[in-house]
Structure 1
């Protein structure tokens, strides 16, 4: 299996750092066009990345309002272009839906849809809530769910129509969201209590809770749907939850402040950027062990796995 690469957004440096997972070392960095990117996504072939320029402020706080998305060539590790959005947006998380790029545009309370060939906005899906900071896409690409931070809610959007199915109140404040492989269950972390909300995207009145040992943050469900991996920022741990029993089966100590959770395609390893100590950690989900620490630039946050691109066979 291709070990691939890890794309790491270093907020304080305004850079995208590319880590080679075979060697655990940096393959290079790319300076963003503005202050400051937070999240990134790579194309399926590992050749391009999309890097929204967000803001110099945390979500909901006064500061700059980014409205540009950089395009990074992952073959040359250089910015190869980009495009502006023509409305105040603070574009944050990007994702891919076939020929379309989608990005959370929280000032607009929407998810914006962009044609990747023309780089033109072709739709703006309303989320029905402020601070729609992050989202998850279902495996079958029929559903998008957003985490609306300070309204403390989750929005459910139907992809074929772009219509808002509903908004589910969760808590005073939530952050980050993921979906199980079926797209039926969404998971988001309550930022005021140590618990994860489990939202049934079809029957929202069936919401449930999973207790955690500390307040959670980033989450991801394993490809077989058996376990939830959760970053516990306040205790500097990554927890692994057995979803059948709802019990925490592993607590893995990490450097300070793990952020998002990204899973390797091998189904065994997970990654998180540790913002305070400027590194990314790799953990074994099955054994509950910290495998290695990889140094990064300053204040790493959003991360994405990418395949290593095949050699460029175009004529010189």
Structure 2
């Protein structure tokens, strides 16, 4: 079954489809203006692309790689972060400047509910591993909004560092990791108490954070320093177990979106300013090669079909 990457080229309004066996772009598709973030349904059949400056969500049929529908709403004001419930039935979309979260039914592709965060610059969407909770980093409020998926209501907000953008929950379901772009730190937060357990210095302007499937590593894209911080989440040393940065991997300029392949053996990084994608071997923790794509690639997704 072929493996592909879908890469969003923000400054030319296209997506590049990469065949990972050939290591080359096999299709280029025009999108609405400024495609930023992407999520793929669990069955791999559809992609949802937030086109931030076009204030649209493009929906792609992954069998044909054609846009089949475009969603619009008057309150789409820089739609950005996207995420799906575990069964894929609902899409959560964060609209940065309207500071609202939209819930979209993926069967009908219609907006079902709009939740104002009442925070500043609500930017990304991240689900807990059990699918019951959504975390929305608010860059301008220096906090995270917590949404209960069952009730579709905000339950709380909790403070983090300045300028939070990258956020993800460890697969163990116990710790929330947050990348704070304004002070170059990562916070590890207790999922129940929201206490900051660890603070770690990472690279310059960390903007994305993802976990390997087994939870061994967190990868953080550092936009300002052109590298990836590799966090070993349970480093064992001198009788201690702690999250620790064990390496920084140089990649292209303005590292952005990161995604793993299905078995976690490789990670892929979209480099905004060198217009390419870095391929990182997770066994050697080294960049193996790069693949040229379009102008200003950022959002990235892996699909096997």
Alignment TM-score, normalising by the size of structure 2: 0.90
**What's the secondary structure of 2:179's corresponding residue?**
strand
**What's the secondary structure of 1:261's corresponding residue?**
strand
Query: Are 1:304 and 2:277 an aligned pair?
Result: no
Report the more deviating stretch, 216-225 or 298-307: 216-225
Contact 1:127 1:157 in 2 (8 A): no
Q: In the alignment, which residue of structure 2 is the partner of 1:39?
A: 37
Change (3 A) 1:240 1:3: farther
Residue from 53, 56, 62 that aligns with 1:68: 56
Contact 2:222 2:228 in 1 (8 A): yes
Q: In the alignment, which residue of structure 1 is the partner of 2:23?
A: 24
Give the Cα–Cα distance (whole angstroms) in 1 for the partners of residues 95 and 223 of structure 2. 25
Per-residue deviation, residues 240-266 of structure 1 (Å, max 9, x unmatched): 111123322222111211112212221
Give the Cα–Cα distance (whole angstroms) in 1 for the partners of residues 204 and 97 of structure 2. 30
User: Unaligned regions of 5+ residues in structure 2, if any?
Assistant: 235-241
Change (3 A) 1:105 1:134: same
C-alpha RMSD of matched pairs (Å): 1.8
Query: Shift in Å at residue 165 of structure 1?
Result: 2.1
Change (3 A) 1:163 1:181: same
Residue from 249, 264, 267 that aligns with 2:264: 267
Query: Are 1:160 and 2:150 an aligned pair?
Result: yes
Per-residue deviation, residues 121-166 of structure 1 (Å, max 9, x unmatched): 1112343412111121122210111111122211111111112222
Query: Shift in Å at residue 39 of structure 1?
Result: 0.9
Change (3 A) 1:128 1:179: farther
Residue from 156, 160, 165 that aligns with 1:170: 160
Contact 1:156 1:201 in 2 (8 A): no
Residue from 240, 245, 249 that aligns with 2:246: 249
Per-residue deviation, residues 196-218 of structure 1 (Å, max 9, x unmatched): 01222321134531222544221
Q: In the alignment, which residue of structure 2 is the partner of 1:211?
A: 201
Alignment TM-score, normalising by the size of structure 1: 0.87
Give the Cα–Cα distance (whole angstroms) in 1 for the partners of residues 144 and 196 of structure 2. 14
Contact 1:135 1:176 in 2 (8 A): no
Query: Are 1:110 and 2:107 an aligned pair?
Result: no
Q: How many residues are aligned here?
A: 296
**What's the secondary structure of 1:16's corresponding residue?**
strand
